[in-house]
């Protein structure tokens, strides 16, 4: 039997799926409050039996008495976990792996084909190809590339599947133990994080797929960027602070790496105003910038809503939940 619960939803993105929430959990009292002021949201948070959120400040966490806090993504670095009551159950969700992997494919192709640069040249009336300019490099296909994965979780494995299906080879490092025999035959090796310098020196594309922790904050700095090839692409779909911002800007402006595709940033936007660091990097010709949207497929959020509601129903009927945060 499902016990009706007061569910407060503060995340504006999943609030778009209010009707799906209600259809999947009709017993509950759903309150979608993302449109309210912070002060008004705090009042609802203090009265919630279940809180569904993407962010939770320390102040709101202290007044939250919800038995279940369900994060609407996979990362919990924006949730004040330490301030929540010790009895609160915390769960999270993902389902963004395919969308992000497709994004990574897109930026690798765009970089290898100089897509943004060529578009700008044609806008200016300039036709530069290998037939008109001997300095223009020929394209490389995926069969010519070694993709280096820093982190090999769900996103890494999905991207690995896509890139190797197109002919790429792969190497990887991860925070947990090495894998001696990865089932994908195009994986040359999977080692522990201490082998990061080796990965950086052999990779044509480096994909960051790690959570932000004290261990990974600032993992990629001047030394690591100097170890990369000068024509290599750095792709970050994890968290901005895994890379040292100043070191990356220097490497890109000096040409010590080929380019970067950045979907995550160091500062948060204010409304629709891009942070200054985004504008600084977007002005560079060897950078592909996106507003932290690589996982924003409709499929991603529909699957998240289904899992969140299933977890709420399980919580209400005292059944086990999926993806509990320790």
In a domain, 66, yes or no: yes
Whole-number Å distance between alpha carbons of 13 and 296: 10
Q: 201 is written with which tokens?
A: 């020196």
pLDDT at residue 1 greater than cutoff 90: no
- 146 and 205 share a domain? yes
Q: How far is the C-alpha of 299 from the C-alpha of 99, rounded, in Å?
A: 8
Please say if the pLDDT value at position 2 is more than 80: no
- The H-or-E segment that residue 188 falls in is strand 187-192
**pLDDT exceeds cutoff 90 at 178:** no
| pLDDT level of residue 177 (50, 70, 90 thresholds) | confident
* Other CB atoms within 10 Å distance of the CB of residue 36: 14
Residues 144 and 209 occupy one common structural domain: yes
DSSP 3-state assignment of 43? helix
Return mean pLDDT, the chain: 96
Per-residue pLDDT tens over the stretch 121-131: 999 999 999 99
Q: How confident is the model at residue 271 (pLDDT cuts 50, 70, 90)?
A: confident
Same domain, 277 and 138: yes
Identify the domain containing residue 195 by its residue range.
97-289
277 and 198 share a domain? yes
In a shared domain, residues 14 and 161: no
Residue with tokens 């394209």: 139
**Domain-located, residue 76:** yes
Pick the closest to residue 113 from 140, 133, 132, 134 (CA basis): 140
Q: Is residue 121 a contact partner of residue 61, using CB atoms and an 8 Å limit?
A: no
Number of alpha carbons in the 13 Å side-chain half-sphere of residue 107: 28
Number of alpha carbons in the 13 Å side-chain half-sphere of residue 116: 17
Tens of pLDDT, residue by residue over 195-237, are 999 999 999 999 999 988 999 999 999 999 999 999 999 999 9
């Amino acid at each position: 039997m499902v016990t009706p619960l007061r569910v407060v939803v503060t995340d504006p993105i999943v609030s778009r799926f209010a009707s799906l929430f209600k259809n999947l959990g009709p017993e509950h009292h759903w309150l979608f409050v993302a449109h309210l002021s912070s002060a008004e949201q705090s009042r609802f948070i203090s009265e919630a039996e279940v809180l569904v959120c993407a962010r939770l400040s320390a102040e709101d966490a202290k007044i939250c008495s919800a038995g279940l806090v369900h994060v609407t993504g996979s990362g919990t670095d924006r949730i004040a976990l330490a301030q929540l009551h010790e009895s609160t159950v915390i769960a999270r969700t993902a389902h963004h792996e395919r969308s992000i992997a497709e994004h990574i494919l897109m930026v690798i192709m765009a970089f290898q084909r100089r897509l943004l640069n060529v578009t700008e040249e044609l806008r200016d009336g300039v036709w530069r190809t290998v037939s008109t300019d001997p300095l223009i490099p020929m394209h490389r296909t995926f069969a010519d590339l070694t993709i280096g994965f820093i982190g090999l979780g769900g996103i890494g494995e999905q991207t690995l599947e896509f890139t190797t299906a197109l002919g790429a080879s792969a190497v990887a490092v991860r925070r947990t133990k090495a894998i001696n025999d990865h089932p994908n035959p195009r994986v040359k090796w999977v080692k522990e994080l201490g082998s990061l310098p080796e990965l950086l020196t052999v990779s044509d594309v480096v994909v960051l797929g790690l959570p932000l922790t004290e261990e990974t904050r600032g993992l990629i700095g001047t030394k690591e960027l100097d170890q990369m090839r000068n024509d290599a692409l750095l792709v970050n779909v994890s968290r901005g602070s895994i890379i040292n911002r100043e070191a990356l800007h220097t490497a890109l402006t000096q040409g010590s790496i080929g380019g970067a595709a950045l979907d995550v940033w160091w500062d948060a936007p204010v409304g629709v105003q891009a942070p200054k660091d985004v504008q600084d990097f977007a002005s560079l010709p060897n950078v592909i910038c996106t507003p932290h949207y690589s996982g924003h497929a409709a499929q991603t959020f529909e699957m998240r809503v289904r899992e969140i509601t299933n977890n709420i129903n399980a919580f209400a009927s005292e059944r086990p939940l999926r993806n509990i945060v320790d």
